[in-house]
Amino acid sequence: MKRDEALTRIAWHEVKKLTRDEAVAIIHAFFKEPLKPSLRQKLNLTAIIQWETHSPPENLHPGNPIYRPVLVDRMRQKFIGATNDYLAAYLREKMGMTVDAVTGDLPDLLACPVCGYKTLTERGTWHTCPVCGWNSDPVQEARPDESVGGNAVSLAAARQNFAAFGAITREKLAQVEPDGTQKYPREGR
Ligand SMILES: [Zn+2]
């Protein structure tokens, strides 16, 4: 199966598992973010007009099909950097599908400076690594012993902590993806 199809199937499966509150939160975030051309193409006019006025309806109904592309796109993003093996295993184990392999190129994500997994679309822009919980802070990345910034620990301490127990701090351990080390490719592989 092609990677693009695998991502779409998994995204739909994940949308079905969302709680109402999770779906509402995703749709509210959509109203605050720039609208990607690829998503705009999939939305109907009502949703686009709502987005342009930045005003979600008072009684937002997350099950309304006009928001379905927003939810699917958001779920897709969660898997955009996952390896083909991970996607194939997901389709087999969580969706019961018969899939030999998933094929296609991965996006060229950047390696996290702490854990080394390729999880970041940009470095130094405060994106959070889903594997270790590092918040990509440009000052802390330039000064590895600086502990004031986007993270409660320095880059050097974060690396030690990740090696010791799998996250940059004990507090972040609950927030990282439990199977993150299986999901993303590591630099150099
Ligand atoms: Zn990381």
Instruction: For 11-45, write each residue's pLDDT tens digit.
Output: 999 999 999 999 999 999 999 999 999 999 999 99
Instruction: For 129-176, write each residue's pLDDT tens digit.
Output: 999 999 999 999 999 999 989 999 999 999 999 999 999 999 999 999
Q: Is the pLDDT of residue 189 over 70?
A: no
Task: Examine residue 99 and state whether it is found in any structural domain, yes or no.
Answer: no
Kindly write down the DSSP assignment for every residue of 114-174, as one continuous string: TT-BEEESSSSS-PBPTTT--B--HHHHHSTT--SSSSSS-HHHHHHHHHHHSSSSTGGGG
Please list all protein residues whose beta carbon sits less than 5 angstroms from ligand 1, which is an ion. Answer: 112, 114-115, 129, 131-132, 134
Q: Alpha-carbon distance 101 to 69, whole Å? A: 26
The CA 112 to ligand 1 mean position distance, Å, reads 5
- Asked whether residue 66 falls in the same domain as residue 139, the answer is no
The CA 115 to ligand 1 mean position distance, Å, reads 4
Number of domains composing the chain: 2
Is residue 88 classed as helix, strand or coil in its secondary structure?
helix
- Asked whether residue 128 falls in the same domain as residue 82, the answer is no
Q: How confident is the model at residue 57 (pLDDT cuts 50, 70, 90)?
A: confident
- Asked whether residue 80 falls in the same domain as residue 122, the answer is no
- Asked whether residue 15 falls in the same domain as residue 89, the answer is yes
- Residue 103, beta-bridge partner list: 2
Instruction: For 66-77, write each residue's pLDDT tens digit.
Output: 999 999 999 999
Task: Examine residue 139 and state whether it is found in any structural domain, yes or no.
Answer: yes
Check: CB of residue 185 under 8 Å from CB of residue 117.
yes
- Asked whether residue 89 falls in the same domain as residue 148, the answer is no
- Asked whether residue 88 falls in the same domain as residue 114, the answer is no
Q: Alpha-carbon distance 102 to 82, whole Å? A: 11
Is residue 18 classed as helix, strand or coil in its secondary structure?
coil
Q: Which of 93, 127, 150 is the last residue of a domain?
A: 93
Q: Which amino acid is at 162?
A: F
Instruction: For 102-134, write each residue's pLDDT tens digit.
Output: 999 999 999 999 999 999 988 878 899 999 999
Task: Examine residue 100 and state whether it is found in any structural domain, yes or no.
Answer: no
- Asked whether residue 84 falls in the same domain as residue 146, the answer is no
The CA 131 to ligand 1 mean position distance, Å, reads 5
The CA 93 to ligand 1 mean position distance, Å, reads 26
Rounded mean pLDDT, 57-70: 91
Burial grade of 176 (CB within 10 A; 0-12, 13-18, 19 or more) = buried
Check: CB of residue 112 under 8 Å from CB of residue 129.
yes
The CA 147 to ligand 1 mean position distance, Å, reads 17
Residue 18's pLDDT is 96
Q: Which amino acid is at 83?
A: T
Task: Examine residue 171 and state whether it is found in any structural domain, yes or no.
Answer: yes
* Boundaries of domain holding 142: 110-183
- Asked whether residue 87 falls in the same domain as residue 123, the answer is no
Q: How confident is the model at residue 58 (pLDDT cuts 50, 70, 90)?
A: confident
Check: CB of residue 124 under 8 Å from CB of residue 141.
yes
The CA 133 to ligand 1 mean position distance, Å, reads 6
- Asked whether residue 72 falls in the same domain as residue 46, the answer is yes
